[in-house]
Amino acid sequence: MIADTVARGLRRWLAGADTRFAFTHCTSAPNTEARTQVRHLYIHVPFCRHGCPYCPYNKVALDQPLAARYFAALQQEITWYSEAKGAYPIDSLYFGGGSPSLFPEQIADLITQLTRQYDLRGARCLEIHPNDCD
């Protein structure tokens, strides 16, 4: 109990009053137009050859049939979203994972589809495991 009181007092002395970081109700709508002018798309490919002990990301062991179903579902979702929301601009595209570099044909198909259905511009990035490149 004494340690908690000392910790609270030290925190208050370092950070100021407790209300400094309190959430308050916003009475005016934030300016969302500036935030929606630039759009970035991240596509997660969760498949890996093996699990690295240092990797904290969502991943599963490489399973070709499961990966084929995953990419088919991803293509359907991309189509559904473009039909529902329209062909808005995408300013950058990033494939991460897992190891998306295990699937060069599927990644190329997704880039082609995104280019057809959206206004894809800017950078296209692919996370690559060092063992997958030469």
Beta sheet of 119-126, edge-to-edge order: 40-45, 89-97, 119-126
Tokens of 110: 């997704």
Tokens 């589809």 correspond to 113
* Percent with pLDDT over 70 in the chain: 77
Instruction: Find how far residue 4's CA is from the centre of its chain.
Output: 38
Q: 107: Cβ–Cβ under 8 A, 6 or more apart, which residues?
A: 45, 95, 100, 101, 126
Q: What is the pTM of this model?
A: 0.69
Q: How far apart are CA 41 and CA 91, in angstroms?
A: 8
pLDDT digits 0-9 by tens, 88-116:
889 999 999 889 999 999 999 999 999 99
